[in-house]
Chains A and B, each alone.
Chain A
Amino acid sequence: MVEQEGIRRYVAHIILWIGIAIVAFPVYIAIVASTQDNALIANGQMSLLPGGHFLEVYYQTIVVGTSGTTREPVGNMMLNSLIMAMLIAVGKIAISIISAYAIVYFRFPFRMAIFWIVFITLMLPVEVRIYPTYKIVADLHMLDSFAGLSLPLIASATATLLFRQFFMTVPDELLEASRIDGAGPLRFFWDTLLPLSRTNMAALFVILFILGWNQYLWPLLITTRDDMQTIQVGIRKMMTTNDALTEWPIVMATAVLAMLPPVFVVVAMQKLFVRGLVETEK
């Protein structure tokens, strides 16, 4: 429109850059702090420009950890987080896609009952049933294990619903054609449905990976051994109650490392991410 030309457009650009600055500032500070000397930071003398300790701080963070009591290398924490996030994402997609397949493509007793049983889980995150779940995981001897970390977080219906919705849009003729071509239910699933679901699976994986990587309360509760800590839990333990003893450069380096994988996934796979986000919230 004629009126959109000129000054209005510059105002929009300026507002957006201010927004970006607000969004980026805390992270910039973290990156800067992770390259500086702890003594300077602790004195409140931190510079707003990057310091020269980048390599040594990150080396210590990843390989050694803090000098305090919980001496766990962040590299190991990242590995734990990675395993947990992968288990949650892959596990949830795997069990959801096959159960959605059963619910959509078969008629069997209790079909709708099972659908509703799964559907209701959509409503309640793990936080509201945290201690009873903890007790069950403890009874099953799954504390400090990856199974204990991931299984309760897999118990939710988002992915099942998404796949069900998608399967409903797959034309019936496809099944009829494969049946005429002699394919049974498993063959149809493997040869036709799975390849068709690829984009949906990828979008879902992106979202679930981020959610899994960012889990906090549950891992905090069920991991007691230092070597089972995830990075989110680890960073909290580095923040000692006595601020003077907190090794800020290492904490900030850990924060940066904790952000890196999920932020990378969002930026690099933006299309899938947006798609996954919009579809899982429907």
Chain B
Amino acid sequence: MQKQAIFQSRLLPFALVAPQLAIVLIFFYWPALQAVIQSFLLQDAFGLSTSFVWFDNYVELFGEPAYFEAIVRTFFFSFAIAVSSLSLALLLAVMADRPMRGGTLYRTLLIWPYAVAPPVVGVLWIFMLHPSLGVLSRYLRDMGVDWNPLLNGNQAATLVILAAAWKQVSYNFLFFLAGLQAIPRSVMEAAAIDGARPMRRFWTVTFPLLSPTIFFLLVINIVYAFFDTFGIIDTMTRGGPGTSTVTLVYKVYTEGLLGGNLGSSAAQSVILMVLVIVLTAIQFRFVERKVTY
């Protein structure tokens, strides 16, 4: 797509794109390139000499059980967060989509958690479910649950998933609501006349028509879980206990902080980049095929 009416100028357009181009090249392409190059290099322990080692860093990384675990864990977290927040958001959106009084009030009261920063989410949830002082932990203990996410890895993982899903509900709710409102009312009415009860109507008409939205949100949620869980994990569990809440991004961060193997750290960054590019590409391909009413 191109504009037909344009201006003629030789230098002006370059001047206009220059600031963005400069920033993108310096702070995006240069570091990304560095990461790619670095991932093929091996530096000795004193940082004195480097040698080109092809895919050694990658091979070594995938041979490392901890890395493999982190990949599996990251994907597990992502799916768990996506599925739980998507289902709750869908339920709420379907309820709020009915034409009823207070519709906008409900929306306002449900969307604001989007604005809460991940580290704050972490703080809120660990405080609520802290083993010794959390207000909810008391009830859990009363119910006979041996609740201690600071020592129990599965509980820590559950906590991370809950907190991240909590934050993501608002975003999903908003998009589901928009998706539901894009379905013409008459289609739902036709289904009602066609004898479909509300539940059947939901599964045979609403759900299929929402599927592009669901897919789009699934990808967005997974990407979100990849990156934004960092803040939650860092304030809540710091990857612990042990490594039970270490995700790929968290691993890049902590290992880089220790200043260890540069090549390995770079290889991890490159793998993350590839994952995100793949996810984004899938999304772009799919989003084009929209439902037409």
Contacts and interface: CB of A to CB of B under 8 A. Distances in A.
A and B touch in the complex (CB under 8 A): yes
A202 interface: no
B112 A266 contact: yes
B170 to A, nearest CB: 7
A181 interface: no
Contacts of B266: 131-132
B269 A130 contact: yes
B7 A217 contact: no
Contacts, number: 291
A118 to B, nearest CB: 6
Interface stretch (B56-64, B67-75, B120-128): B120-128
Contacts of A41: 133
B210 interface: no
A265 B115 contact: yes
A42 to B, nearest CB: 6
Contacts of A1: 189, 192
B242 interface: no
Contacts of B1: 168
Contacts of A194: none
B133 A48 contact: no
B273 interface: yes
A114 B128 CA distance: 49
A5 B24 CA distance: 56
Contact of A13 (B88, B100, B128, B269): B100
* B6, B29, B100: most-surrounded residue (chain A CB, <10 A): B6
Interface stretch (A50-58, A66-74, A98-106): A98-106
Given A13-B100, A29-B128, A160 B117 contact: no
A104 B17 CA distance: 11
Contacts of A251: 123, 127
Contacts of B16: 98-99, 101-102, 106
Contact of A99 (B21, B92, B235, B256): B21
B26 interface: yes
A198 to B, nearest CB: 19
B230 A127 contact: yes
A37 to B, nearest CB: 13
A235 B120 contact: yes
B26 A267 contact: no
State the main secondary structure of chain B at its contact with A.
helix
B19 A127 contact: no
A154 interface: yes
Given A105-B3, A108-B14, A259 B95 contact: no
Interface string B114-157: 11111111011101101011110110000000000000000000
B174 interface: yes
Interface in B230-246: 230-231, 234-235
Nearest to B21: A114
Interface string B267-293: 001001100110010000001000000
Contacts of A102: 12-14, 16-17
B198 interface: yes
A273 B171 CA distance: 11
A9 B103 CA distance: 12
Interface in A150-170: 151-152, 154-157, 160, 167-168
State the main secondary structure of chain A at its contact with B.
helix
Nearest to A140: B26
Contacts of B25: 117
Given A108-B13, A133-B31, A12 B6 contact: no
Contact of B95 (A16, A122, A266): A16
Contacts of A160: 20
B24 A117 contact: yes
B138 A44 contact: yes
B80 interface: no
Nearest to A14: B95
Interface in B144-203: 166, 169-171, 174-175, 178, 189, 192, 198
B23 A155 contact: yes
Contacts of B49: none
B127 A128 contact: no
* B35, B91, B133: most-surrounded residue (chain A CB, <10 A): B133
20 contacts: A12-B95, A22-B88, A30-B123, A44-B137, A96-B20, A103-B17, A106-B12, A114-B21, A118-B24, A121-B24, A122-B280, A125-B227, A127-B252, A151-B23, A172-B4, A213-B117, A217-B230, A217-B249, A263-B115, A282-B287
Given A121-B28, A151-B26, A232-B117, 8 more contacts: A8-B198, A20-B109, A42-B133, A129-B273, A221-B253, A263-B116, A274-B178, A281-B220
